[in-house]
Each structure stands twice: as structure tokens, then as C-alpha cells.
Amino acid sequence: MGDLDPSQPLEIGQNLHDLQDTVGAVTSRFGEMASGVSSGGLLLKMEGRCGEAAVFGAGCWAQNFRPGARIGMACSISGTGEYITRSGLARALGKAFEVPEPINSDEDVDPHAIIQKVLIHEFWKPSQDLGESSPSAGILLMTYEDGDDEPIVRVWCAFTTPTMAIAYASTKNPSPKALILRRPKEMTRTRPDDNLAPVYMTAFSL
């Protein structure tokens, strides 16, 4: 896409939708975690609206892997900004990942369970209680853990929408790869006791 001239009005036919998607990123370097998010904004919103990208702890969060910590994480959030902001979704995820060392040190941290619990109980259900029948959120989250021979770095994607687009690269595989993740048609709900929240989640190692 070419450069935009801020002095010229934007015509509706000029790929307006392409200019309004949320863009987020997460990264890790030797356990030093970082994240960011940038919102394209929404049409027909009141002047002065502040989306989740500008609110601390709503749209992105990161905490380093450090001595005494079991896992490092960084996340970037997209979706319905008002409800993401109200729930402080990114910060809630960070807090949930502050897992203390157990008596049995062989017990693994379960990121899948953590993400699902936070997404449903901190975002989906409270948003429904406020009258939003189908709250939208997409989570891009990276975890960093100690492994037997080398650190384990994984990317997690969880979303309540039909699709979520991501791209990724790593030092081992520096060529970027892009994916459009799609929730399976037959998969519409997670569990009967989760207020019928259509959460789809996947993960892959870097």
C-alpha cells in the first residue's frame, strides 16, 4: 500500500477497510518479552473515543521470564474495544500467568487452560452480562519456558470470531509465514457450562 497524504481526503473506494484493522505483535529474546498493539479505529464512533490500544493493560501486556518465574508471556488483543478495555483483558492474562512454583516442580503450566479460563470468565461472560450477545476478541500470545535442552517458545491464538489472521517468524525460521485461522464449522461451543462461548484456540512452537 502506498503512502497516504494526510492533506488529501480519503475516498471510500480507497481500500478503507484495509486501513482500519487492528495490528498487534509479540516477541521474545532470551526470555525478554515485549508486545504492542495499534488500532485502526472504527467508523461512526463518537469523537474522542479511546480504544483498547491506548489503555494500559487492555490491548497488550508482557512480563519477562525471570528467576522464580515459571513462564514468560506477551500478548496482544484485538476485538470489541469497549469490552476489552472494561475487562482489562491483557493484564488479566498476565496476572493469570503468574503461576507460583508448586511443591511438585514437575507439574507443568497449562497455557491452554489459563487462556480459556480468562477469555471466558474475564471477558465473554461479563460482556454478555452487559448486553453484548456475541463479544468479539482475538488473543495473540507468546509463552517462553525452560526446556530440557533449550527454551520452549510457543505462539497461542485464541478467538471468539469465525477467523483470525496472523503472521510469524523466528530465528530458526526467519522467512515470515502468514495464516488465516478459521474456527471449524462443526465447532461452535467450548463446553456446555461455559455459557456457550465459541472459543477456538490453537498453538504452535517456534
Query: What does the pLDDT look like over 32-78, one tens digit per residue?
Result: 999 999 876 666 667 777 888 889 999 999 999 886 678 999 999 99
Q: Are strands 163-168 and 152-159 parallel, antiparallel or unpaired?
A: unpaired
Separation CA 177–CA 169 (nearest Å): 7
Q: Residue for cell digits 456457550?
A: 196
Has residue 72 been placed in a domain? yes
- Specify the pLDDT at position 23: 85
Has residue 192 been placed in a domain? yes
Separation CA 76–CA 24 (nearest Å): 6
Q: In the predicted model, what is the mean pLDDT of residues 171-179?
A: 92
| 21 compared with 131, residue with greater pLDDT | 131
Has residue 120 been placed in a domain? yes
End-to-end CA distance of the chain: 29
Residue by residue, DSSP assigns 45-110 as: PPTT---GGGSTTTSEEEE---TT-S-EEEEEEEE-HHHHHHHTHHHHHHHHT-PPPPSSTTPPP-
| 7 compared with 149, residue with greater pLDDT | 149
Q: Residue for cell digits 481500500?
A: 15
Residue 199: which residues within 8 A CB-CB, separation 6 or more?
116, 119, 120, 124, 158, 159, 160, 190
Has residue 126 been placed in a domain? yes
What is the band of 12 on the pLDDT scale with cuts at 50, 70, 90?
very low
Has residue 140 been placed in a domain? yes
The yes-or-no answer on residue 80 being catalytic is no
| 20 compared with 130, residue with greater pLDDT | 130
Total domains, the chain: 1
What sign results for the dihedral spanned by CA atoms 101, 107, 110, 114? negative
Q: In the predicted model, what is the mean pLDDT of residues 165-175?
A: 92
- Specify the pLDDT at position 106: 61
**Structural domain harbouring 86:** 20-39+50-205
Residue 101 has a CB neighbour count (10 Å cut-off) of 10
State the CATH number of the domain containing residue 76: 3.60.20.30
What is the band of 10 on the pLDDT scale with cuts at 50, 70, 90?
very low
Has residue 151 been placed in a domain? yes
Task: Please answer whether residues 138 and 77 qualify as being in contact, where contact means their C-beta atoms are separated by less than 8 angstroms.
Answer: yes
- Specify the pLDDT at position 43: 66
Q: Name the least confident of 6-15, 20-29, 36-45, 146-155.
A: 6-15
AA identity, residue 199: V
Residues in the chain: 206
Has residue 153 been placed in a domain? yes
* Per-residue pLDDT reduced to its tens digit, 102-147: 655 566 789 999 999 999 999 999 999 999 888 999 999 999 998 8
Has residue 9 been placed in a domain? no
